[in-house]
A = this chain, B = another copy of it.
Amino acid sequence: MGEFGLIEHLTKDFPIRNPQSRKGIGDDAAVLSFGEKEVLVTTDLLLEGIHFDLRYVPLKHLGYKAAIVNFSDIYAMNGNPKQITVSLGLSSRFTVEHIEELYSGIRLACEIYGVDLVGGDTSASATGMVISITCIGEADKEEVVYRSGAKETDLICVSGDLGAAYMGLQLLERENTVAAQSGKNFVPSFEGKEYILERQLKPEARKDIVAILKEKGVKPTAMMDISDGLSSELLHICKASGVGCRVYEDRIPIDYQTASMAEEFNMNLVTAAMNGGEDYELLFTVPLSDRDKIETINGVRMIGYITKPDLGAALVTNDGNELPIKAQGWNAFSGGNQDC
């Protein structure tokens, strides 16, 4: 059935009863209304052995990333994260020092993004580590951006570059396997690969992009964060907005290290960039009339445009062919509150 199908199936019989529940399942965050501001809520459940591997993820980085992925969901609604709650399940192999390490990463993320930790809960766990984070954000009523607002002729934009986090994970997994086979004297070689490792281990949420769009007077018509891969997120926006899209292969932003790693692994680079996931960049659409403003923003690239729904979603390759976009998203930190 797949994750999205399952959530849809399980939650279809839950009606919305309260006028304060503006938007429930089906976006990066829920949108609640209790007064002047809209309240945004998103939550992530991370399980050891499924979403993270402590053999190569330092606990401080894990804490940082676990917080960031939630902040990213709030930014993707054009809001600002304000509070988080953190619940931990811990098996007996974790010491207080381990948990302090994890929290030091969460604390750093809170400091940098100006977010308050307002709730906590720790409990024993029969096996491994469980991290559940809920993030609350706010936005002015007229500022919230959903997935559903993309219109024909809108420009499709992405921030930063794609595929690096995925290639970083491939590298970590390879070095980990080699290390396991080689014994204690093995020293992994990460030189010249710092960027893709950082993208995997210490991603950032694009607070800066949300701020600069506001500064430039650009309100996206639709927005998401890229957690499951560009292909998957494009399909989400097309489905929610009832539109199609064309995206140009030669416009997909890819870093040099990502490209060189893909070559080393003999992987198709565009596939990695389209389906890699965990980039936590922003994918958004803007009216054609905002083109000039977008062009002045560093680190944002226009990669295509929105079409009529019957044209479907396709990647225009460098030789002019149109390949239908399929969701092959992969994301170790998958799920996200409202991803269905």
Contact = CB atoms under 8 A, between A and B. Distances in A.
Interface string A26-48: 00011010111111011111011
Contacts of A42: 85, 119
A302 interface: no
Contacts of A44: 87, 121
Contact of A123 (B39, B45, B115, B126): B45
B337 A119 contact: yes
Nearest to A102: B10
A138 interface: yes
Please tell me how many copies of the chain the complex holds.
2
A193 to B, nearest CB: 29
A213 interface: no
Given A85-B134, A134-B41, A136-B32, A18 B116 contact: yes
B21 A118 contact: yes
Listed residue (A36, A41, A43, A127) with the most chain B CB atoms within 10 angstroms of its CB:
A43
Interface in A299-340: 334-340
A68 interface: no
A250 interface: no
A92 to B, nearest CB: 12
A153 interface: no
> What does DSSP make chain A's interface, helix, strand, loop or mixed?
mixed
A51 B123 contact: yes
B45 A88 contact: yes
Interface stretch (A1-9, A172-180, A229-237): A1-9
A17 to B, nearest CB: 6
Given A14-B107, A50-B124, A123-B334, A39 B87 contact: no
Contacts of A127: 126-128
A83 interface: yes
A236 B322 CA distance: 65
Contacts of A110: 14
10 contacts: A6-B122, A15-B116, A30-B118, A36-B36, A47-B123, A50-B124, A87-B337, A120-B340, A121-B336, A130-B130
Given A41-B119, A130-B130, 9 more contacts: A6-B99, A18-B82, A32-B83, A41-B134, A45-B123, A47-B89, A50-B89, A50-B124, A87-B335
Interface of A: 1, 3, 6-7, 9-11, 13-18, 20-21, 23-25, 29-30, 32, 34-39, 41-45, 47-51, 82-83, 85, 87-89, 96, 99-100, 103, 107, 110, 114-128, 130, 132, 134, 136, 138, 334-340
